[in-house]
Structure 1
Amino acid sequence: MSDNARDHFEIPKFEIPTDMRSMAEASFDEARKAFEQFVTNARDTAGKIEERNAEMRAGAKDLSTRALSYAERNVQSSLDYAQSLLKAKDLNEVMRLHSDYVQGQMRSLAEQASEMGQAVSRAAMDAVKPKN
């Protein structure tokens, strides 16, 4: 293919307009603050439940702690991904960021499912142990 023909098939440059980027970043910052407040409230609520329910078994506590931790990490990862997309310079970078994000999430979810399965098994075994 000649250089002239190749020029006609280049991928157009992808740019987010400055005003749109600024507005998206402001919205993103508000979403991050709302998420951080949600996590703080969830932790406070979890602490209050623990205080009122001193008899909670260690396995159930471990499961709820893990679930909250996984949710926090997954949402944080999504927020970080969204923020990186706002800073992408072209379509190739957007595609790379998306691929990296999806691969990372698949690994993370597989690890989380495995860990949660093991924790559920431990909690089930603890639940059937006779009380002394």
Structure 2
Amino acid sequence: MTDDGRRYDMPKDMRTLAEAGFDQARQTFEKFLAGAEATAGSLEERGATMRAGAKDIGARVLTYAEKNVQSSLDYAQSLVHAKDLPEVLKLHSEFVQGQMRSLAEQAGDMGQAFSKAAIDATKPKA
């Protein structure tokens, strides 16, 4: 209605143009929602993949910690049974060399595990 109480009719071409604009906006919004839902689903899948990778890494860390503690306990026990200072020095040298090898192997394995987890988390899903 206009200010003087008369009814205002929108021209047919203008109404058609407005309806087309609304339809286009609705379609664009529906596409946006579909894309957002797909992205959310993808993030959930990636989250599951990342959780699996983190679980594997956590298990490796615990295994290595157990191995390292056991190695240290064995070393300490061998020191208790050492007969003299030269034997203590020999045991210490062997222990340090063994630990360095173990730590290098563990670091390499952990690096590979982290890389695999990162690659798996960023792989495109089919």
The interval holding the TM-score normalised by the smaller chain is: 0.5 to 0.7
Q: Normalising by structure 2, report the TM-score.
A: 0.58
Q: Which residue of 2 aligns with 1:106?
A: 100
Percent identity over paired residues: 73
Runs of 4+ in 1 over 4 A off after TM superposition: none
**Count of aligned positions:** 79
Q: Which residue of 2 aligns with 1:77?
A: 71
Structure 2 unpaired stretches of 5+: 1-47
Alignment of 1:61-76 (within 5 A): 61-76=55-70
Question: Once the two structures are superposed, what CA deviation does each residue of 1:38-89 show, in whole Å capped at 9, x if it has no partner?
Answer: xxxxxxxxxxxxxxxx887332121011000011100110011001000100
Q: Which residue of 1 aligns with 2:120?
A: 126
> Structure 1 residues 55 and 116 mapped into 2: Cα distance closer, same or farther (>3 Å)?
closer
C-alpha root-mean-square deviation of aligned residues, in Å?
Answer: 1.7
Structure 1 unpaired stretches of 5+: 1-53
Whether the 8 Å CA contact 2:50–2:121 is kept in 1: the answer is: no
Counterparts of 2:49 and 2:112, CA distance in 1? 22
SS at match of 2:82: coil
> Which is higher, the Rg of structure 1 or of structure 2?
2
Counterparts of 1:116 and 1:79, CA distance in 2? 23
Q: Normalising by structure 1, report the TM-score.
A: 0.55
